[in-house]
Structure 1
Amino acid sequence: MKKNFKLLMLAVFVAAASCSFTTKSFEDPDKDKLLIDLITYVLEKGHYDAKQFDDSFSEAVYKDFINNVDPIKRYFLASDIAEFEQYKTSIDDQLLAKELDFFNLVYSRLDQRIKEAQTYYPEILDKPFDFSVSEEINVDYENLPYASNKKELKDRWRKQLKYTTLSTYYDNIEDNLFKIENEEDYTPKTKAQLEADARETTLNSFNDNYSFVNDLERNDYFAVFLNSVVTQFDPHTNYFAPPDRDRFDLQMSGRLEGIGARLQKQSDYIKVVEVISGGPAWRGEHIEVGDVILKVRQEDETDPTSIVGMRVDDAVKLIKGPKGTQVTLTIKRVDGTIEEETITRDVVEIGETYAKSAIIEKEDRKFGLINLPAFYFTMQDYEERNAAADVKKEILELKQQGMEGLVLDLRNNGGGSLRTAVDIAGLFIKEGPVVQVASNGKRKEVLSDRDSEIVWDGPLVILVNDASASASEILAAAMQDYKRAVIIGSKQTYGKGTVQNLLDLNQWLRNNDMGDMGALKLTTQKYYRVNGGSTQLEGVKSDVVMPGRYAYLDIGEKEYDNPLPYDKITPANYSPYDGYIDYESTIKRSNERMAKSAELKLIEENAKWIKQRQDENVVSLNLEAYTQAIKDREQYAKRFDVLEDYQSGLNFKSLPKELGLIEIDSTLGQNRQRWHKNLRSDIYVEEAVSVLEDLKLNNIRQGSLAKIKD
């Protein structure tokens, strides 16, 4: 993937943070070999476009694995790389022979270099930095050569730590000046004290993060290696170690069974960082943010298990459990008191994962807006909960409130279930094909809406941006091909036109005594629009283009290594929607408005400026120059303040069903207030409403639809 690493304080730990987590704490070469055997077999037999294991494949794996474990070149030396290169073209042979010489060498050397690095940063941070000297750091890590020796490597660490500390030092200076001016009893700190405070902050951050790094095991890095292999087939084929598979299930369903809290490891302790609204811990007021969990006891146990010093994933495994079971936690409160809390586990739904809606009021007219963050569904039972059923409910409630047009917001929706995309499309058309799916480049299948019911037959606008991907693109493309909706947003969407299936690797094993082998998310199909075109790489082109702040950044499928190519197939048999009488002219009028929009011109200028800033790779470590650069950016950024202050004049309200929930859930109320505030300054939603006003319905057509529904 093309990358521009603008990494600051935590950059050294990017590789660690991307690792998968397993629960085995010992090395098991036989399991590793079995995993390689399973994965290579499934890839060769099941991938949509299986690749040859050859020298070029080997070189790609070699490059990606080293980059994944040391992305900013703060561990390996040039001599290490020279030693690794003996395997550059033989990794394919090793995979076929189930040999791990390359992985073992890189892992053992990385482990050695990480331990060495842990001696660098405390020593460097023990002495004050001189921010008066003229010095720079180059953050273009991708093109940075590896350090030739330890002295050079240590100097890179010095610059990185100085850069991190400089950022905090600058903030400390600004905070000190503010308190001098606004707090009568404040005792000003000297520059030396402020610099020492900044170094201490950096030291604490690196200590916390090395606590995380030190919890990583060989299996974690082996999962990174396996992903370096499988992503050569395409960027969406991934290996999931067992806990990662659970996270994927949560991401797809938006729900889990447990106590309803987010946990994070700080030093040796497991700390509560969020209590999920509506969950059992929240309902019973058992725990609060800041509490530390010391011990966990299951309902069938007499002695609790201490989780002090435990990996956070292992602690979570003990705390979560099936609905209806109980767990007793020994908790250290923020005030230092220690108490026991018994919590009955339940299904916990992550509310912000699900569809939400608002009534839009413009003068005496009402419109509806549904925000859909993902195409979710319950993995075990589609009918239990899915995005399509939820969207349908929201539409019906909005209709009861008298909405005259609907905005479906798919911005930043990365996709999810293919079936939900088809089902949601069916809410807006009588029946017909929605998407075409091809397997192994040969046969194709047409997925259709076969339900003649139309839940919403009025004006429809769909909002998209560069991050709208996969199932979002399926839905937007279908509505565009049918001319059922006007698509407003970025020049094109993400461009992911492939379908993945999650395969449990354990299904190929009998009498497995090596533990859970995890799962492989495998690209098995490509999907195509009903007009025969692919969204792969090309995305969906908006009818009305409204570039966002990140319009010029490298976002999308085309920025990955190894994407599948764009192609076309024959169109499906479908008839465009004829419920509008001025579809094309409405799009034309909207584009004309946008061409004259001063706000949109400013947004585009802001996008170009953001791109320019992203491309700046050299940063001064001199306080005066660093400060001046910040002041210059702040001064230039003021020209964009008008965008934050912009008010559309639209009013947004929650549905009656939600108002009752807000009365008992202050967190939900705060979330909705923030959302409505952002919507009032959202120029994209404002234009969507204008388009809804412009779209005129064919009354004869609508009358016939009503008869069909009756």
Structure 2
Amino acid sequence: MKSLLTGSILALTIGLQSSALLAKPNGDQNWEYLQPNREQVIASLNIVELLKRHHYNKPPLNDVRSAEIFNGYIEMLDPSRSYFIASDIAEFEKWRTQFDDFLKNGNLEPGFTIYKRHLDRLEQRLDYAIGMLDKGIDQLDFTKDEDLLIDREKAPWAKDLAEQDDLWRKRLKDEILRLKITGKEPQAIQELLLKRYKNQRTRLSQTRSEDVFQAYINAFAQSYDPHTQYLSPENAENFDINMSLSLEGIGAVLQNDNEYVQVARLVPAGPAEKSKQLKPADKIIGVAQGNDEMVDVVGWRLDEVVKLIRGPKGSVVRLEVIPSGNAPNDQTSKIVPITREAVKLEEQAAHKSILHLQQNGHDYKLGVIEVPAFYLDFKALRAGASDYKSTTRDVKKLIDELQKEKVDGLVIDLRNNGGGSLQEATELTGLFIEQGPTVLVRNSDGRVDVLADESEEVYYKGPMAVLVNRLSASASEIFAGAMQDYHRALILGGQTFGKGTVQSIQPLNHGELKLTLAKFYRVSGQSTQHQGVIPDITYPANMDTKEIGESALPHAMPWDSIRPAIEPEKDPFKPFLTELKTRHEARTQNNPDFVYTRERMALSQELMKETTVTLNEAKRRAHQADVEKRQLALENALRTAKGEKVLDKLEQEDDSLPRIDEPKTKPEDDAFLSESGKILLDYLGLNTNPPRHEARR
């Protein structure tokens, strides 16, 4: 999609700097060297103008927006309300409705002042924790009955430093207990935490003006939506590297999660995905090069962790991760070695398999086409190569091959497909429908562009199902939504991610701005934003939709609808959906994989509701033992049902544990894929006039 902006940057008048600075608490470090420079002021003014003119929503920059910026900035700096004290917030409060004026005038001083106060408080807290650890962890009483509030998003601010000291005493006890329960010895715990806090203290003194500017401007930019983001010159370079895949890494998209760096998603066919040991929502707590000593990265900035993980092709990086499946307070970690390599386009290619099923005494063959990403070799295409790779070209070949096998239907597997080329999503849709619209793109000026399939023929007319999950995003949602709106396929699985916005990179005099300037809509007029695609038949989720997905992001743009591009036609699936759901529920009620997924998620959600933890070691160990007992019971129930060896204890390093909702060696071993095939066969049995399976030649 062409950029909707001309790329011109406006040179605006720099406003007067505020002289109303807040008093600095006593501290060792002098942060006065952290001052905004002229380039940052001009960049901030340009960002204000770009958002005003070109952001999709064009919301006004007023007192209401100022309050959102204020709240977002404080939350960004102190999400657990563990650093600022009540008097700090009271001092900042006078600026709550003034950030709109500050930004319009190029006044960055208030943003810098708040950040420097945050550094003061962080310095105090690190010094306090180091001081306590220097006395030895044996001076802490773990027999005392006291609790720590861990869900502090709405907790009151500590009224003074004494109250904050008590909070941090409890936080330190909690950290020690978590490590004790993983089996670490007291001396090792003391050394680890001292090293962690001292490293954080050292890096604090390395804070740059650009760090402050980036945090403050992003609090402003992301008050519009989570994908509008300022990229510093260094981060802009990293973004370009990631997009071009010109530097080898592990093939994972990372994001900040409070003090941790968390896996957001895995790149299809990348080293991390192929390792089968890293999953979305895993927390990275350590990074090591080859056999070198593990570097603790808790509390590090995202860009610092990325630098450690990135490296030359063929080299090995070891990650210490806390698996996403752990209970919230379980710090048990595992080591994941990954060999860095570039992600090759051919490894992301769609591939086929045949699902053999028996139903009602008959044998059936269903073709399965797994599409890991919507890819297109732009370089080969521009060079005029006749054999350039693309999703649509590959899927056409696979359909031809499956037709020769005389399959009874087709399942398109889009699980974990994070999207890719919009052009390919449109062209792939065209293989299965007659000529018509495929997706609508509404721009910030209200204009709606219609992307369409121009071919009047249908390449494949046979019965279809499309399998999706929470990590099916963007282009995947466009394709799945079109298949649902045209009533061309049954949509099965989980609610998709809900990423329905379009961003463009705009250069600035200093860094870049990633700007949301359009929104996707299905041909039915429904947005894919926030809500995603809702399957016709929903499977149990293996990840919490409240934690992962567009709707989990702050300031996510809402779902809405516009005028549809097609007239609604009679839905051939609707008369049979009730019966299809009834059969599906009966079939999966006692299916080991479905039971495991439902009960594992129920346990996870139960544990996530816990807002406090006990700091009594005996009670904490008893609670952890109970959680592990329940987790082990779930694992062993699944293993027993499948005739596999049961475990005596949970083993994080045991890679033989079943993985639900991931492709297996044989298609039939994938419970969700097999169930999708059975639902499609149910439909063919109920419908006396199903689509004919034929291919266009």
TM-score by length of 2: 0.71
Q: CA deviation at 1:116?
A: 2.5
Aligned equivalent of 1:542: 535
- Alpha-carbon distance in structure 2 between the residues aligned to 1:545 and 1:313: 36
Any conservation in 1 of the 2:430–2:458 contact (CA below 8 Å)?
Answer: yes
Structure 1 letter corresponding to 2:150: V
Aligned equivalent of 1:198: 189
Aligned equivalent of 1:524: 517
> Judging changes above 3 Å, is the alpha-carbon distance between structure 1 residues 223 and 353 closer, same or farther for their aligned structure 2 residues?
farther
Please tell me whether residue 694 in structure 1 is matched to residue 690 in structure 2. Answer: no
Aligned equivalent of 1:187: none
**Per-residue CA distance 1:596-638 (angstroms, 9 max, x = gap):** 2234466445433322211111100111111121222234345
**Per-residue CA distance 1:434-467 (angstroms, 9 max, x = gap):** 1122223633221111245645443322122344
- Alpha-carbon distance in structure 2 between the residues aligned to 1:248 and 1:379: 19
- Alpha-carbon distance in structure 1 between the residues aligned to 2:514 and 2:667: 36
Question: Aligned to 1:257, what secondary structure does the other structure show?
Answer: coil
Question: Aligned to 1:141, what secondary structure does the other structure show?
Answer: coil
Q: CA deviation at 1:480?
A: 0.6
- Alpha-carbon distance in structure 2 between the residues aligned to 1:166 and 1:63: 32
Aligned equivalent of 1:236: 227
Question: Aligned to 2:132, what secondary structure does the other structure show?
Answer: helix
Structure 1, gaps ≥5 residues long: 1-24, 174-193, 265-274, 279-286, 294-309, 321-326, 334-344, 510-516, 650-666
- Alpha-carbon distance in structure 2 between the residues aligned to 1:79 and 1:113: 12
Please tell me whether residue 83 in structure 1 is matched to residue 71 in structure 2. Answer: no
Aligned equivalent of 1:218: 209
Alignment of 1:252-263 (within 5 A): 256-258=245-247
> Judging changes above 3 Å, is the alpha-carbon distance between structure 1 residues 477 and 147 closer, same or farther for their aligned structure 2 residues?
same
Identify the match of residue 446 of structure 1 among 447, 450, 469. 450
Q: CA deviation at 1:199?
A: 2.9
Name the stretch that deviates more: 235-244 or 61-70: 235-244
Q: CA deviation at 1:488?
A: 0.9
Any conservation in 2 of the 1:245–1:518 contact (CA below 8 Å)?
Answer: yes
> Judging changes above 3 Å, is the alpha-carbon distance between structure 1 residues 456 and 200 closer, same or farther for their aligned structure 2 residues?
farther
Question: Aligned to 1:163, what secondary structure does the other structure show?
Answer: helix
Please tell me whether residue 572 in structure 1 is matched to residue 571 in structure 2. Answer: no
Any conservation in 2 of the 1:488–1:546 contact (CA below 8 Å)?
Answer: yes
> Judging changes above 3 Å, is the alpha-carbon distance between structure 1 residues 119 and 402 closer, same or farther for their aligned structure 2 residues?
farther
Aligned equivalent of 1:629: 623
Any conservation in 1 of the 2:130–2:197 contact (CA below 8 Å)?
Answer: no
Any conservation in 1 of the 2:371–2:414 contact (CA below 8 Å)?
Answer: yes
**Per-residue CA distance 1:31-87 (angstroms, 9 max, x = gap):** 111111221111111111111111111111011111111211232222222222221
Name the stretch that deviates more: 602-611 or 457-466: 602-611
Structure 1 letter corresponding to 2:449: E
Any conservation in 2 of the 1:77–1:149 contact (CA below 8 Å)?
Answer: yes
Please tell me whether residue 470 in structure 1 is matched to residue 474 in structure 2. Answer: yes
> Judging changes above 3 Å, is the alpha-carbon distance between structure 1 residues 250 and 361 closer, same or farther for their aligned structure 2 residues?
farther
Q: CA deviation at 1:332?
A: 14
Any conservation in 2 of the 1:421–1:472 contact (CA below 8 Å)?
Answer: yes
Any conservation in 2 of the 1:553–1:611 contact (CA below 8 Å)?
Answer: no
Structure 2 letter corresponding to 1:46: H
Name the stretch that deviates more: 566-575 or 113-122: 566-575
Q: CA deviation at 1:314?
A: 7.0
Aligned equivalent of 2:144: 133
Identify the match of residue 672 of structure 2 among 684, 692, 708. 684
Please tell me whether residue 63 in structure 1 is matched to residue 71 in structure 2. Answer: yes
**Per-residue CA distance 1:414-448 (angstroms, 9 max, x = gap):** 44443332122123224321112222363322111
- Alpha-carbon distance in structure 2 between the residues aligned to 1:332 and 1:434: 42
Any conservation in 1 of the 2:290–2:317 contact (CA below 8 Å)?
Answer: no
Any conservation in 2 of the 1:590–1:687 contact (CA below 8 Å)?
Answer: no
Identify the match of residue 149 of structure 1 among 144, 147, 160. 160
> Judging changes above 3 Å, is the alpha-carbon distance between structure 1 residues 260 and 443 closer, same or farther for their aligned structure 2 residues?
closer
Question: Aligned to 2:368, what secondary structure does the other structure show?
Answer: strand
Aligned equivalent of 1:493: 496
Any conservation in 1 of the 2:309–2:317 contact (CA below 8 Å)?
Answer: no
Structure 2 letter corresponding to 1:566: W
> Judging changes above 3 Å, is the alpha-carbon distance between structure 1 residues 503 and 117 closer, same or farther for their aligned structure 2 residues?
same
> Judging changes above 3 Å, is the alpha-carbon distance between structure 1 residues 162 and 359 closer, same or farther for their aligned structure 2 residues?
farther
- Alpha-carbon distance in structure 2 between the residues aligned to 1:679 and 1:151: 60
Question: Aligned to 1:477, what secondary structure does the other structure show?
Answer: helix
Structure 2 letter corresponding to 1:493: T
Any conservation in 2 of the 1:487–1:542 contact (CA below 8 Å)?
Answer: yes
> Judging changes above 3 Å, is the alpha-carbon distance between structure 1 residues 113 and 407 closer, same or farther for their aligned structure 2 residues?
same
Aligned equivalent of 2:37: 29
Structure 2 letter corresponding to 1:289: G
Any conservation in 1 of the 2:484–2:491 contact (CA below 8 Å)?
Answer: yes
Any conservation in 2 of the 1:644–1:681 contact (CA below 8 Å)?
Answer: no
Identify the match of residue 598 of structure 1 among 584, 590, 602. 590
Question: Aligned to 1:676, what secondary structure does the other structure show?
Answer: coil
Aligned equivalent of 1:124: 132
Aligned equivalent of 2:3: none
> Judging changes above 3 Å, is the alpha-carbon distance between structure 1 residues 359 and 477 closer, same or farther for their aligned structure 2 residues?
same
**Per-residue CA distance 1:554-598 (angstroms, 9 max, x = gap):** 5544444434343332222368699xxx74466444311233223
Structure 2, gaps ≥5 residues long: 1-32, 255-268, 273-287, 295-302, 319-339, 383-387, 644-654
Please tell me whether residue 423 in structure 1 is matched to residue 434 in structure 2. Answer: no
Any conservation in 2 of the 1:230–1:239 contact (CA below 8 Å)?
Answer: yes
- Alpha-carbon distance in structure 2 between the residues aligned to 1:576 and 1:557: 30
Q: CA deviation at 1:401?
A: 6.0
- Alpha-carbon distance in structure 2 between the residues aligned to 1:523 and 1:147: 37
Question: Aligned to 2:504, what secondary structure does the other structure show?
Answer: strand
Identify the match of residue 608 of structure 2 among 601, 614, 617. 614
> Judging changes above 3 Å, is the alpha-carbon distance between structure 1 residues 569 and 552 closer, same or farther for their aligned structure 2 residues?
closer
Question: Aligned to 2:182, what secondary structure does the other structure show?
Answer: helix
Question: Aligned to 1:693, what secondary structure does the other structure show?
Answer: helix
**Per-residue CA distance 1:254-294 (angstroms, 9 max, x = gap):** x5223557999xxxxxxxxxx9869xxxxxxxx9833699x
> Judging changes above 3 Å, is the alpha-carbon distance between structure 1 residues 198 and 328 closer, same or farther for their aligned structure 2 residues?
closer
Aligned equivalent of 1:171: 182
Alignment of 1:34-433 (within 5 A): 34-126=42-134, 127=136, 128=138, 129-172=140-183, 194-207=185-198, 216-249=207-240, 256-258=245-247, 289-290=290-291, 348-349=343-344, 355=350, 357-362=352-357, 365-376=364-375, 387-389=391-393, 391-392=395-396, 395=399, 403-433=407-437
**Per-residue CA distance 1:312-335 (angstroms, 9 max, x = gap):** 767899x77xxxxxx999x999xx
Over the matched positions of the two proteins, sequence identity in percent amounts to 31
Q: CA deviation at 1:639?
A: 5.1
Structure 2 letter corresponding to 1:349: K
- Alpha-carbon distance in structure 1 between the residues aligned to 2:365 and 2:231: 46
Structure 2 letter corresponding to 1:77: I
Q: CA deviation at 1:486?
A: 0.6
> Judging changes above 3 Å, is the alpha-carbon distance between structure 1 residues 419 and 292 closer, same or farther for their aligned structure 2 residues?
farther
Structure 1 letter corresponding to 2:614: S
- Alpha-carbon distance in structure 1 between the residues aligned to 2:345 and 2:616: 45
Question: Aligned to 1:522, what secondary structure does the other structure show?
Answer: strand
Give the aligned CA root-mean-square deviation in angstroms: 4.4
Question: Aligned to 1:488, what secondary structure does the other structure show?
Answer: strand
Q: CA deviation at 1:487?
A: 0.6
Name the stretch that deviates more: 479-488 or 594-603: 594-603
Question: Aligned to 1:151, what secondary structure does the other structure show?
Answer: helix
Any conservation in 1 of the 2:411–2:465 contact (CA below 8 Å)?
Answer: yes
